[in-house]
């Protein structure tokens, strides 16, 4: 990276300062996804409810842990999907086959994560 580039300026710090900056950028990313993406808000609140249900409705830790992990995976995948969509839209909002493939793949990843979430819950409740 060029020393004068924006990215180098942001990443140029070392040690604990870099860790603190990275944490701040992560919080900024969650806040932006929450503010601008209805799908992220929906997935987040669904999973907040499911995690609460796991802690209050499931007594065994060995059953609760997969439920919580599946919820986190779903939120993580939605954040990645949001990032893909933002990057594609930043590049161009014109219709393009590669842009469609990228956005569809992000959406498919979230579908698979939600199917996993449903499977884990169903196997816990009825297994």
Contact 74, 109 (CB under 8 A): no
78 is catalytic: yes
DSSP label of 127:
-
Termini Cα distance of the chain: 53
User: Cα(107)–Cα(99) distance, rounded to whole angstroms?
Assistant: 12
Q: Return the SS3 of 45.
A: helix
Place of tokens 């860790």: 19
| CA angle centred on 52, ends 51 and 55, rounded to 5° | 85
How many other CB atoms are found less than 10 A from the CB of residue 12? 13
Catalytic residue among 9, 37, 60, 78: 78
Report, as residue numbers or ranges, the catalytic residues: 78
């Amino acid at each position: 990276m060029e020393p004068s580039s924006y990215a180098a300026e942001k990443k140029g710090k070392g040690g604990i300062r870099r860790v603190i900056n990275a944490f701040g950028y992560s919080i900024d990313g969650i806040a932006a996804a929450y503010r601008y993406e209805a799908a992220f808000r929906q997935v987040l609140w669904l999973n907040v409810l499911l995690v609460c249900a796991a802690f209050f409705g499931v007594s065994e830790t060995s059953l609760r842990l997969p439920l919580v992990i599946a919820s986190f995976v779903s939120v993580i995948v939605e954040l990645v999907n949001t990032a893909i969509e933002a990057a594609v839209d930043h590049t161009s909002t014109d219709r393009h086959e590669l842009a469609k493939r990228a956005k569809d793949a992000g959406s498919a990843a979230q579908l698979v994560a939600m199917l996993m979430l449903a499977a884990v819950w169903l196997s816990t409740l009825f297994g």
